[in-house]
Amino acid sequence: MDDRAGTIPERLLGWYDAHARRLPWRVMPGTVSGEEPARSPPDPYRVWLSEVMLQQTTTAAVAPYFLKFTERWPTVEALAAAPEEDVMGAWAGLGYYSRARNLIACAREVAARGSFPETEADLRALPGLGAYTAAAVAAIAFGQRAVVVDANVERVVARLFAIAEPLPAARKAIREAAERITPESRPGDFAQAMMDLGATICTPRDPKCLLCPVAAQCEARASGDPASLPVKPAKKARPQRRGTAFWIVRDGHVWLVRRDKRGTLGGMRALPDDGWNARGDGTGEPPLPGEWRTAGAVAHVFSHFALTLEVRVRAGNQPGDPEGDGEWWPAERLEEAGLPTLFAKAARLALAGG
């Protein structure tokens, strides 16, 4: 067995006890005479909520959303009872909106069960909980030994064991190495220590090896070029799409629609548009006849494509009613509508007059 499998957890947990990041969802370590931390157990609801929010999103971006959610819905039962449109609106701006839909479904299932399941396997069966989230909740909330590998942990492990195979093929070897060093004791703290190490010390560029508690065990540091790992595949160019959003006002109110749940930004309130999501390139045809002018365009990058959205404004109080389901929303309270970032940008452009 690799000797590092014993020393790495010891060094990391000692470092974590002294240097853990203070985060709104975290129960801080607090050791007493070198024994197990004396503290209240983490709330599974807060652990789960934070892990869902943190998927592909930074801690800085998540913190205010987490605080807002837990103030408004302090328990999983409160979240489960919330109207879906309220949750989607509160999520607006955080991105990856399928997470919010899964959040609601999961909260309702947990509330129906009476509590969160405690094992990794049972957590994995909940809506929206993939391998990483289930392992993280099992380890952090319930103290189960689970192998937790996010992007930060992936980078730390690839460097510790000099795993030079390019991603994503390297993930099997990275997980096996993470399995070898995950301890039975304090697995949740160990997972968070690995995350913190990757976020603050073992960073993608210019890792701070002189400050690293496991520098002596790191094969990549010994090689002289730790920043070269993990080896990432070349990025593919994002497809470019174009579309048009339409700003329709009447008596100080803006016409908003609810987007199809099956598409991009599904289930969110938005300005009407020309269907760029379904066709990949909008037609530019307005939903109503009348006098229109172009206010400009906004750009937004999604995970799989980049969009340039032209914003067209209809002169106020012209005759004709928009077709389909929608609602007239007070323009002065538009920030309360929960528009996703793309349409919030478009609305600001329209309000500014282009």
The Cα–Cα gap between 100 and 259 comes to 14
Structural element, H or E, at residue 271: none
| 258 phi and psi angles, rounded to 5 deg | -105, 125
Closest CA relative to residue 305, chosen from 349, 264, 266, 258: 264
- Neighbour-count burial of 46, counting CB atoms closer than 10 A to its CB (0-12 exposed, 13-18 middle, 19+ buried): buried
> How deeply is 302 buried, as exposed, middle or buried, from its count of CB atoms within 10 A (0-12, 13-18, 19+)?
middle
Cα separations in angstroms, 193 against 39, 186, 190: 17, 10, 5
Amino acid found at 321: D
- Give the up-direction half-sphere exposure of residue 151: CA atoms within 13 A in the CB hemisphere: 10
Which residue's entry shows tokens 């996703």? 340
What is residue 234's DSSP assignment?
A: P
Q: Annotated catalytic residue: which of 10, 51, 85, 285?
A: 51
Three-state secondary structure readout of 190-207: HHHHHHHHHHHCCCCCCC
**140 within 8 A of 194, measured Cβ to Cβ:** no
Beta-carbon contacts of residue 123 (< 8 Å; ≥ 6 apart): 116, 117, 129, 133, 134, 137, 138
Taking the C-alpha atoms of residue 99 and residue 53, their distance in angstroms, rounded to an integer, is: 8
Q: Is 291 a catalytic residue?
A: no
- Give 253's contacts (C-beta < 8 A, 6+ positions apart): 328, 329, 330, 331
Q: Kindly list the catalytic residues.
A: 51
